[in-house]
Amino acid sequence: MARKIGFYAVLAYVVYGLFFYWYLFYFADTSLPFEYEGSKADPATFLNGRELMLTEEYSKVRNLLFFLSSPLEWLFYILILVLGLSKAFKRWALQSTKIKFVQTAIYLFWLSLFAFIATFPLKFISYSLSKSYHISVQTFASWIKDELIDFWINYGTMLIIVTVLYWLIHKSPKRWWLYSWLLSVPFTLFMMYLQPVMIDPLYNDFYPLKNKALETKILSLADKANIPAEHVFEVNMAKKTTALNAYVTGIGSNSRIVLWDTTLKRLNEKQILFIMAHEMGHYVKKHLYFGIAGYLLLSLAGLYIAAKAMNWAIARWGKDLKIPHVNDITSLPLFLMILSMLMFASSPLSNVVSRYQENQADQYAIKMTKDPADAISTFQELTRAGLSQVNPPLLVKIFRYDHPTMLDRISTIEDYEIQQKSKSNGEGP
């Protein structure tokens, strides 16, 4: 039975991959609806022929890699179970020490190492793709350094979580999911508080915005929005990428508004002010706190479903998966696989909410800056810099896009611009 499970899992992954290859390269239509042709949202009006070709090529491969990545995790966890590797990791841990915490650490290290090796090829392909299309300018040494930092941060975080999780499963087999969630609330908030000052600086250099005249204008916008901001932070990304970005991170006194230096170099002052107004819109609309609340609610539902699914799967296939009990550490791959599946399945819902919030932030920014021309040119430049599809395929939009498409964003501002002109003409003599 174990061989059958492994065989059908591999077969399902191959069929799934072939479907998305066919969908993205042969079936999906990314052309604009007729009514948008020739508008400012039409990429043919602001990209040259070569840029249009590169955008389509890059987006297709990048989207295929996205759809292959999560199911690859699921396949990895299934094979780890049916091939007996999870059981072997536990045996190696038991043979190494009698200290329970160290046993967990050893088991988790082997599982994390095998997962890193299994997913490395797709990550390297993604890195090589971005290099070949000049989105990334990061050296291999710098890239692998970031990957290793990721590995150890994830390992350290997971060691804490897994140790507490299996202690709770052992102590309360029926309600461990609820107690785990209750503990996850302060842990999540604590990690978000640490992110800007402890974790992010491990990857990049952060410093107050060097252009003090621009910072003064940004802080003036913040003052109008009643945002208690004292600094805008700049991050050195030019050594890694040509893409543009700005974001808000952290909570409480550690919250930061961050601009990539690539954004500062490529966009003019009015475009940067529009982006900053957008980020302030998130603050004013309290999107960060709604996001935290939504994440915690989804995690509660996810842990409950995961608990029920684990009990069912182990009762039915425990012998084939070589898992004796739910509270045995060998069940960890099953738990991680179920959580990954639930996150993937819930992504359309979370993306809808995120796109709504991003649209709200766009509307806030255009009302604050009253500069639709620079807002549109900002989105056009973001499209060019990231080789982003203006009108991505439906499944890509549903599962991948947590921001509105550039077609939606530019056409919304165009409508605003037309409305403003109509009002202005109507007010004339």
- Continuous H helices in 83-200: 85-96, 100-132, 140-171, 176-194
Residues 312 and 422: their CA atoms lie apart, in Å, by: 62
Confirm or deny that 231 is annotated as ligand binding: no
Structure tokens at 169: 């499963």
Structure tokens at 91: 């045996």
Element of type H or E holding 325: none
Structure tokens at 45: 């009006």
Q: Is 417 a catalytic residue?
A: no
Q: Strand, helix or coil at 248? A: strand
Judged on CB neighbours under 10 Å (0-12, 13-18, 19+), 39 is middle
How long, in residues, is the chain? 429
Residues 52 and 40: their CA atoms lie apart, in Å, by: 15
261, 328, 362, 408: the active-site residue: 362
Structure tokens at 150: 């990721």
Confirm or deny that 134 is annotated as ligand binding: no
Identify the DSSP state of 172.
-
234, 279, 371, 408: the active-site residue: 279
Q: Roughly what angle, to the nearest 10 degrees, separates helices 287-321 and 332-369?
A: 160
Q: Is 427 a catalytic residue?
A: no
Catalytic amino acids? 279, 362
Binding positions for Zn(2+) are: 278, 282, 358
